[in-house]
């Protein structure tokens, strides 16, 4: 089945990502800042059209450089005090040697050329600098029928050919992602939103398999029907807004201090 490359895909869904991606908890950024020996500059790589991680870092670092390989994502990101957004690939940031105290990649590192990105991370981070990468699970809405319907949508056989191979790293919670740094034991964090139904549906429509299967009648019909089931179940609860949670899977490491 045809797949858009990462730059093309994220360009197509840039507006959806900006509006319907979860915000990360402030406790995560306080924790990451506490690990940095200096707080002069953080680099957020793969920042996306919302720049959620870059915005969270801005309260803790004098400067945040936020990069993304997608022109369309950078083109629509909103300016934010203390953050400079740049169109740069993860593997060639354009940053100076030993110029960043912290490097983050939120829901992004599985899309990178890891060997090249890690080499760039070692070059850009100061000795003993910190690299943090994370991804998040499927949304948890009610621990009941809505969650079962979301899982059925995710695991649907008609969508399987449209998931990129690197999605397996997210399914695995980055547990087996190569991570050649001095790894630290990280606490657990959860992203939380209180959303109306339309925001949940918009979030589900950011999934690559849904976007890439839009011209497949069988897949498109299934997606439409399953989203209607989710909507009907949500409305039976007679609540306009619901709490939605995403468990984060975080890996944190340091470069050598030599």
pLDDT in tens, 94-107: 999 999 999 999 99
Least confident of 3-7, 43-47, 52-56, 115-119: 3-7
CB atoms within 10 A of CB 220: 14
Alpha-carbon distance 39 to 16, whole Å? 32
Q: What is d(CA 72, CA 60) in angstroms, rounded to the nearest whole number?
A: 27
Across 81-87, average pLDDT = 97
**pLDDT bracket for residue 11 (50, 70, 90):** low
Region 231-251: mean pLDDT is 94
159-166 average pLDDT score: 95
pLDDT of residue 15: 87
Average pLDDT, the chain: 94
Reported pTM: 0.93
Q: Which residues pair with 241 in a beta bridge?
A: 196
Q: Average pLDDT of 207-225?
A: 96
Q: Which pLDDT score is estimated for 1?
A: 44
φ, ψ for residue 221, nearest 5 deg: -65, -40
Rounded CA-CA distance 88/65 in Å is 11
Q: Is the predicted pLDDT of residue 4 greater than 60, yes or no?
A: no
The stretch 205-223 carries a mean pLDDT of 96
Residue with tokens 């760039």: 120
pLDDT score for 22? 95
Kindly tell me if the per-residue pLDDT of 188 is higher than 60. Answer: yes
pLDDT in tens, 16-37: 889 999 999 999 999 999 999 9
Q: Is the pLDDT of residue 3 over 50?
A: no
Q: Render pLDDT for 125-136 as a digit per residue (tens, 0 to 9).
A: 999 999 999 999
DSSP 136-154: E---BSSSSHHHHHHHHHH
Q: Mean pLDDT, to the nearest integer, of 41-46?
A: 98
For the chain, give percent helix, strand, coil, nearest 5: 40, 25, 35
Does 203 have pLDDT greater than 60? yes
Return the CATH number of the domain spanning residue range 6-254. Answer: 3.40.50.150
Domain ranges in the chain are 6-254
Q: pLDDT > 90: what percent of the chain?
A: 89
């Amino acid at each position: 089945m045809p797949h858009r490359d990462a730059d093309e895909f994220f360009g197509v869904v840039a507006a959806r990502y900006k509006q319907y991606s979860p915000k990360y908890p402030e406790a995560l950024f306080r924790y990451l800042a506490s690990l940095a020996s200096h707080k002069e500059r953080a680099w957020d790589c793969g920042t996306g059209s919302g720049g959620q991680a870059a915005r969270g870092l801005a309260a803790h670092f004098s400067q945040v450089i936020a990069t993304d390989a997608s022109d369309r994502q950078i083109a629509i990101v909103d300016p934010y005090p203390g953050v400079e957004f740049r169109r740069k690939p993860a593997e060639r940031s354009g940053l100076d040697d030993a110029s960043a105290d912290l490097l983050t990649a939120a829901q992004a590192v599985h899309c990178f050329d890891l060997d090249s990105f890690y080499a760039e991370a070692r070059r850009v981070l100061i000795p003993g600098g910190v690299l943090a990468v994370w991804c998040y699970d499927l949304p948890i809405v009610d621990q009941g029928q809505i969650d079962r319907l979301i899982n059925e949508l995710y695991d649907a056989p008609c969508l399987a050919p449209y998931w990129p191979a690197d999605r397996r790293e997210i399914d695995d919670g980055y547990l087996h992602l190569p991570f050649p740094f001095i790894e630290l034991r990280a606490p657990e964090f959860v992203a939380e939103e209180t959303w109306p139904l339309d925001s949940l549906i918009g979030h589900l429509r950011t999934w690559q398999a849904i976007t890439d299967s839009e011209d497949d009648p069988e897949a498109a019909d299934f997606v439409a029907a399953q989203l209607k089931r989710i909507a009907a179940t949500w409305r039976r609860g007679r609540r306009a807004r619901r709490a939605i949670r995403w468990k984060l899977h975080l890996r944190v490491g340091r470069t050598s201090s030599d």
